[in-house]
Amino acid sequence: MWELIRANRRKSIALFIVMGLMLMVLGYLIGEAYWPRGGGVGGLAVALLVWGIWSLVGYFAGDSILLKSSGAKQVTPDVHPQLFNVVEEMKIASGLSHMPKVYIIDSPAPNAFAIGRTPEKCSIAVTAGLLAILNRDELQGVVAHETAHIHNRDIQFMTYAGIMLGTVVLISHMFLRSLWFSGGRSSRYRSRSGNRNSGQGQAIVMVVAIVFAILAPIMARLLYLAISRRREYLADASGARFTRYPEGLASALEKISGSKEDLKTANKVTAPMYIVNPLKGKGKKLANLSSTHPPITERIRILRSMAGGAGYADYQSAYEKVHGKKSSVLPQSALADKSAVPVLIPGQEEMAGAGQKSSRREFGDVVRAVNQYLFLFCAGCGLKIKVPPEFKKKQFPCPRCKTQIEVPLAEMATVGAVLESVDQGRQETQKDYDMVYRRKRSEWESFRCNCGKTIQLSPHFSGNYLDCSNCRRKIKIELPQI
Amino acid sequence: MDCVNCREPMIVLEVDQVEIDYCLECGGIWLDSGELGILLDDDDIVAEFLEKPVMTNHVRESERLCPECEKNLNELLVDPDNGIYIDRCADRHGLFFDRGELKQVIGLFRTETSKKVASLLKDIFRGDKID
């Protein structure tokens, strides 16, 4: 498998280097166009500096910026135990060393993406709409695809390629804008003061720079998308192998592409990260060349043609069957692995989201759980009541049977505190502990570990860390703020 | 979601897959367009509620805003004989009923749908004034 990752990476690195060269040529030409004597080197240096700074920001804060801009919220297993269960399964199936953090996006549009610096610090985000319409096998297919992106080291690579694309676009845009506003004055003055030949030479450089500044972002984008599309096929193949059930992913892709909901938080930068292009309405009619993803119908047909098995060779032969010609989509190293990977027979699980009502309700409940609502049942009549986090009453009468219902306000506050502190923990070093809990006061208090286990702290607890007795997670305990 | 009338946080009641935002303080009910669709199960009646032109000059003393888009709610005269107005979002986000109004509105329709809705409301508010 490592060989497969390396082979995939080699091809992508070639494209990545071409993008880098384009960035350097662009910087050089713009430098030369403005400052004819040695300005090219300066332009080159500025282009690399901008890329370097952006890369550093991307490395240290890229995932949290993108997760925040996508409206993703980190959740605990009690919000959606099945999702955690599936992520855990795929972590084991793919051999990842760490459990990815799980995020839910409050949107009815079904979609998912993975992000992170390394497999140790990575996250999987799914929308609430996805959880509402997929059954377990389909959800497993989607999570397996995202886990494959983490496993194949795609996420880090795509981040850098995306940053390089952003730099090319930014520099080109600034150059063309500056010409517009200056009206090309600087070059005109210089050509008057210098001799006629150098003036002509500089005019040529200027024209070349303008043409390149217009073409470079388009070419860089096409290269970026080529890298992205190739990796989607590989992630589909790896996902099918992890679950040994290609139909799960195929069926999920079909449902996702059938949705008419638009993902409002997605944009051109984040679109290639998602399992299915979230910008459905826009660019639908564009040629395949400019698409962020391979055609979804083709991905589904390939997965459904894998009748013989769920291995890489099976995916490759299904790809050839669908395309009707011999062309390789997976590296040769993967195809050398001839070991049989039998396809699983699916369980007779009831399809989730079979009814529109229950699907809608499930979506609503996931969104409420993400937003820290409390789900209560009246002890007298069984009425299901959802209480918002802003609710401050300790008790209220059931609207149906008037039985007094107690509101565990402390638990609501604790769930919020745990999530908040986990978020803060991520921004710190996150080396010695897996979770942070900030004490509210020096009295008895309880909180929930991310695994769902309730942990009680005595007023006399004076340590800085404790281990969860259920999942062995190391939890940092912070003192109350006075 | 805060109550349109008294601005207190509303709780959500769920019965038979239907959700109703309910204010414990004033007994107000907010039904968003999706819930209204599930509740009435009839696109024509839903459209009538959400799109019927407003023909009233009635002015409420206090301002009421849609909890979703925060635009002013329009008043819709549903029963001229008894002077029953309900509040409706101009962008079709939903309807707000003061205590008891929902029952009165449902009572205006003598159809199978209204019977179904009335029985659901009875189920939710067994001991309440709405019954």
Q: Report ipTM (2 d.p.).
A: 0.88
For residue A65, pLDDT beyond 60 = yes
| Cβ count near A120 (within 10 Å) | 12
Task: Check if A146 is active-site.
Answer: yes
Using a CB-CB distance cutoff of 8 angstroms, which residues of chain B are in contact with residue A383? 13-15, 124
Q: Distance of CA B110 to CAs A348, B18, B31, Å?
A: 44, 21, 21
Name which of B110, B111, B67, B116 is nearest B89 in CA terms.
Answer: B67
For residue A78, pLDDT beyond 60 = yes
As a whole number, the mean pLDDT across chain A is 78
Report the chain B residue with the minimal C-alpha distance to residue A371: B1
Report pLDDT for A113: 92
In angstroms, the separation between the Cα of residue B36 and the nearest Cα of chain A is 12
* Mean pLDDT on B56-75: 76
Q: Which of A383, A403, A412 to mutate to test the interface with B (most CBs of B within 10 A)?
A: A383
Q: Does A394 touch chain B (CB under 8 A)?
A: no
Helix (H, G, I), strand (E, B) or coil at A387: strand
Whole-number Å distance between alpha carbons of A373 and B14: 14
Q: Which of B7, B10, B14, B116 to mutate to test the interface with A (most CBs of A within 10 A)?
A: B14
Whole-number Å distance between alpha carbons of A332 and A334: 5
Report pLDDT for A4: 58
Confidence of residue A429 (pLDDT cuts 50, 70, 90): very low
Strands (E), chain B: 11-15, 18-22, 29-32, 73-79, 84-89, 94-97
For residue A140, pLDDT beyond 90 = yes
Using a CB-CB distance cutoff of 8 angstroms, which residues of chain A are in contact with residue B17? 357-358, 361
Confidence of residue A287 (pLDDT cuts 50, 70, 90): very low
Interface contact B124-A399, CB threshold 8 A: yes
Catalytic residue among A146, A232, A247, A362: A146
Length of chain A: 482
Confidence of residue A417 (pLDDT cuts 50, 70, 90): low
